[in-house]
């Protein structure tokens, strides 16, 4: 018996390829790329079919400026249910009192948090961008660095780990209004407790940008900043494995109102309710017991991959990893090999990752001496430690002869065989 409910697009008769063959042929090629090559970008993942279905739903048609119960346009009763469900689920998942699920991205979540608590010119202390911090943590080319007076802390020279003493000294010296923790390229646990103490000592607010590690926090393998930091921002598409988007949590009633006002009308117009629906799906998925296993396996895989790469002669920044990513210093492997050349050679070999500066990198961010490699996506496909060792060997093979197109083609074939056993969207 055919199901009464169609399985793909309920709203277009037939195959969407018939409606727009040109576009859907391009999408097919991207699906093929994701299915047949290795995705090792630390901030990427494979969302579930339910997440993708919600993102592709009729909710994309609706305008709903405002918040549940207080919208500017009519017709939002159903939308209110969706957004309330997403808010309730994320508050339960992280044990938070208040959530704003409307930020279109992590960058917007961060900017809304700043808008809620800062005035132009205020001093903010954040992590150095060349040591792991994010563009929105005060880069001079980002609006954050143009509007606010960002000052920075970094990692220690000795063990390349977050330097809490340096952070405390910078807080004492600059008396920031806000301290921002969190990173995009830092392989160790960030403990929110000492940062809370430092913030209290200098009378600063404390925001934790958990974009990269939100899934590890939800899965119970990293300490939660919720209830410790005043504001927690994160993205929903990285380790959390939902749709692309952002979210803000706070336990402080006084900040909740300011945050909501900052997101809308302060920074954004109509929320993307189809994405908010998909966020609700992802929050439910992350609350399942198997998500804890997934989060723990991400870290085990990252450790196995880092150890495999160290065995191949690469230097792993800080000597290893506690999370979903590692930074690889290419110089001990090949002093002439840049991150840029390595990324391009690996791309030709079916291995997708990104070049990244390493602490105190003499090369520019466009060239770099390092790579950032992450395991959230390959872990979603079911790969485990043995596959990580295999991937380390494939990376080393390519990088020993980055200009050898025959070697790249051979590795690409081996990658395709590996991916055929762990296909994200068969
Ligand atoms: N682009 C993201 C990352 O790769 O970490 C951060 O916004």
CA 340 – ligand 1 centroid, Å: 17
State the residue range of the domain holding 329.
Answer: 293-420
282 and 311 in a single domain? The answer is no
Atom of ligand 1 nearest to the CA of 106: 7
Whether residue 93 lies inside any domain: the answer is yes
Tell me if residue 244 is catalytic: yes
Whether residue 45 lies inside any domain: the answer is no
pLDDT averages per 10-residue partition of the chain, 426 residues: 49 75 95 98 98 95 98 98 99 98 98 98 97 97 98 97 98 98 98 98 98 98 98 98 98 97 98 98 98 98 98 98 98 98 98 97 97 98 98 98 98 98 96
Among 243, 271, 286, the domain-final residue is 286
Question: Considering only CA atoms, which residue is closest to atom 6 of ligand 1?
Answer: 184
CA 184 – ligand 1 centroid, Å: 6
Is the link from the previous residue into 97 a cis peptide, with omega within 30 of 0? no
274 and 351 in a single domain? The answer is no
pLDDT at 17: 85
pLDDT at 1: 44
Tell me if residue 235 is catalytic: yes
Pocket mutation for ligand 1, best pick of 40, 41, 43 (most atoms within 8 Å of C-beta): 43
Given the residues 136, 235, 379, 380, select the one marked as catalytic.
235
Tell me if residue 63 is catalytic: yes
61 and 173 in a single domain? The answer is yes
Q: Cβ < 6 Å from ligand 1: which residues? A: 43, 106, 134, 184
Question: Considering only CA atoms, which residue is closest to atom 2 of ligand 1?
Answer: 43
CATH of the domain at 404: 3.90.1150.10
CA 9 – ligand 1 centroid, Å: 30
72 and 213 in a single domain? The answer is yes
Report the mean per-residue pLDDT for the chain: 96
Single out the residue of 79, 384, 107, 95 nearest to residue 217, CA to CA: 95
Given the residues 44, 83, 163, 209, select the one marked as catalytic.
209
240 and 387 in a single domain? The answer is no
88 and 188 in a single domain? The answer is yes
Whether residue 207 lies inside any domain: the answer is yes
Tell me if residue 72 is catalytic: no
Whether residue 319 lies inside any domain: the answer is yes
Tell me if residue 372 is catalytic: no
Question: Considering only CA atoms, which residue is closest to atom 4 of ligand 1?
Answer: 43
337 and 274 in a single domain? The answer is no
Whether residue 42 lies inside any domain: the answer is no
232 and 297 in a single domain? The answer is no
Whether residue 253 lies inside any domain: the answer is yes
Atom of ligand 1 nearest to the CA of 135: 7
**66 φ/ψ angles, rounded to the nearest 5 degrees:** 110, -155
The token pair that represents 2 in the structure block = 């055919």
pLDDT at 68: 98
Whether residue 15 lies inside any domain: the answer is no
CA 1 – ligand 1 centroid, Å: 46
Atom of ligand 1 nearest to the CA of 42: 4
Pocket mutation for ligand 1, best pick of 211, 234, 343, 376 (most atoms within 8 Å of C-beta): 211
**184 φ/ψ angles, rounded to the nearest 5 degrees:** -110, -15
Tell me if residue 70 is catalytic: no
Single out the residue of 386, 322, 324, 310 nearest to residue 353, CA to CA: 324
Question: Considering only CA atoms, which residue is closest to atom 1 of ligand 1?
Answer: 43
pLDDT at 2: 46
CATH of the domain at 109: 3.40.640.10
241 and 326 in a single domain? The answer is no
104 and 249 in a single domain? The answer is yes
Residue 346 contacts residue 398 (beta carbons within 8 Å): yes
**How far apart, in Å, are the Cα atoms of 80 and each of 44, 64, 74, 246, 362?**
29, 9, 11, 18, 51
**How far apart, in Å, are the Cα atoms of 213 and each of 64, 324, 376?**
30, 8, 10
Total tally of structural domains belonging to the chain:
2
The count of other CB atoms within 10 Å of the CB of residue 289 is: 6
Whether residue 261 lies inside any domain: the answer is yes
270 and 157 in a single domain? The answer is yes
Among 227, 258, 286, the domain-final residue is 286
Among 237, 262, 286, the domain-final residue is 286
Single out the residue of 249, 259, 257 nearest to residue 229, CA to CA: 249
280 and 297 in a single domain? The answer is no
């Amino acid at each position: 018996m055919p199901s009464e409910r169609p399985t793909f697009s309920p709203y277009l008769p037939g195959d969407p390829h018939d409606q727009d063959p040109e576009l859907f042929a391009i999408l097919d090629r991207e699906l093929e790329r994701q299915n047949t090559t290795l995705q090792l970008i630390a901030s990427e993942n494979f969302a579930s079919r339910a997440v993708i279905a919600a993102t592709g739903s009729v909710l994309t048609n609706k305008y709903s400026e405002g918040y549940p119960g207080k919208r500017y346009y009519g017709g939002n009763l159903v939308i209110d249910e969706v957004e309330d469900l997403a808010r309730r689920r994320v508050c339960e998942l992280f044990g938070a009192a208040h959530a704003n699920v409307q930020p279109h991205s992590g960058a917007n979540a961060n900017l809304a948090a700043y808008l809620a608590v800062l005035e132009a010119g205020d001093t903010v202390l954040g992590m150095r961008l060349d040591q792991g911090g994010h563009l929105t943590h005060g880069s001079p080319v980002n609006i954050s660095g143009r509007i606010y007076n960002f000052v920075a802390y970094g990692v220690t020279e000795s063990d390349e780990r977050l330097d809490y003493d340096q952070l405390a000294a910078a807080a004492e010296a600059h008396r920031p209004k806000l301290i921002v923790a969190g990173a995009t390229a830092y392989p160790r646990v960030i403990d929110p407790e000492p940062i809370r103490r430092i913030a209290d000592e200098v009378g600063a607010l404390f925001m934790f940008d958990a974009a990269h590690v939100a899934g590890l926090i939800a899965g119970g393998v990293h300490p939660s900043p919720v209830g410790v930091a005043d504001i927690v921002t994160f993205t929903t598409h990285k380790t959390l494995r939902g749709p692309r988007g952002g979210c803000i949590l706070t336990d402080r009633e006084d900040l909740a109102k300011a945050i909501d006002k900052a997101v809308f009308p302060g920074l954004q117009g109509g929320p993307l309710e189809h994405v908010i629906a998909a966020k609700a799906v992802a929050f439910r998925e992350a609350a399942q017991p198997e998500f804890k296993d997934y989060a723990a396996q991400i870290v085990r895989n990252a450790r196995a991959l880092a150890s495999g790469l160290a065995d191949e002669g690469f230097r792993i920044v800080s000597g290893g990893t506690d999370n979903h990513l590692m930074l690889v210093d290419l110089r001990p492997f090949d002093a002439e090999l840049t991150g840029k050349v390595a990324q391009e050679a690996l791309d030709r070999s079916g291995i997708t990752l990104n070049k990244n500066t390493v602490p105190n990198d003499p090369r520019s961010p466009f060239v770099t001496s390092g790579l950032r490699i992450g395991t959230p996506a390959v872990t979603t496909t079911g790969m485990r430690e043995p596959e990580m060792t295999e991937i380390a060997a494939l990376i080393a093979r390519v990088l020993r002869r980055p200009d050898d197109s025959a070697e790249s083609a051979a590795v690409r074939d081996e990658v395709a065989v590996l991916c055929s056993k762990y296909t994200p969207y068969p």
